[in-house]
Amino acid sequence: MSLKHSTGLVLKVVPWIVLVILAKLVVHRLGYEFVPLNPIFSALIGANVFLLGFLISGVLADYKESEKLPGEVATTLHAIMDEVTFVGQKTSDREFTNQRTAYILRLAEGVKAWLYKKMKTRDMMALIDGLTGELVLLERHTQPNYIARLKQEQNLLRKMVVRMHTIRETGFVSSGYFIATTTSWLLIAGLVLLKSEPFYEILFFVAIVTYLMLFLLELIKDLDNPFGYYEKGSYADVSLRPIDDAIDYLKHQVG
């Protein structure tokens, strides 16, 4: 995740930190601090941070896999395009090649539109299935083993789209995220009500601990959907640069 994306997450957390600090100041002024400093309280904060770390490790596995998927989609599209170019060179039929290339370009643009939820999954799958008709036309000009290889690439593309759909639509264990969220906010409330001196020293630690827990919660939420391009405030999305490069390449081929 880039510095820009990290800054975005920090900016989402800062208003809550300010609110907690203001609440702490008000509680201190009114004399409502009644929670004594206890070693168990420190242990609970440590346990909660450990839980948050465990949740991050859980969502990180899917995130690392997701980083590879756009590149693999682009590689598959390039492989299909190479075979079309090969057949076009054999037949010397530029119009035939352009028509097939235009469909592959439509397929690449469809993947990107689908990732932004501008296309439904069933329409995306239908677009991939439509590649079969293009392969039938290619079969007239090349050997069957080339078509078999292209069918494998088509099936691989279908599997990758299904995998991205599963990662995007399946959230992390809701009960784990719920307990981490509720525990974090209960501990923050405890920090607000914590009675300790000197006051401004404890105020500093309240701000730091609040920042740590809320940032980790936002990070888990963001990492849970690496394909959240359609979500406002989603900062940890994987790069679509390989697909963009494939689209540019295909546009150049058609042109």
| pLDDT digits 0-9 by tens, 205-243 | 999 999 999 999 988 888 888 888 888 777 778 889 999
Q: Give CA 79 to chain center in angstroms.
A: 25
Average pLDDT, the chain: 86
Q: Give pLDDT, residue 93.
A: 65
- Taking the model in full, what pTM does it have? 0.80
CB hemisphere CA count around 127 (13 angstroms): 21
- More confidently predicted of 226 and 93: 226
Per the structure, the count of domains in the chain is: 1
Cα 211 to Cα 217: distance, rounded to the nearest angstrom = 10
What number is the average pLDDT over the span 128-133? 89
Tokens of 34: 């009644």
Cα 197 to Cα 116: distance, rounded to the nearest angstrom = 51
Q: Give pLDDT, residue 173.
A: 67
Expressed as residue numbers, the domain containing 31 is 3-254
Q: How far is CA 128 from CA 41, 74, 94, 134, 135, in A?
A: 55, 14, 23, 11, 12
Q: Give pLDDT, residue 2.
A: 55
Phi, psi of 35 (to 5 degrees): -85, 115
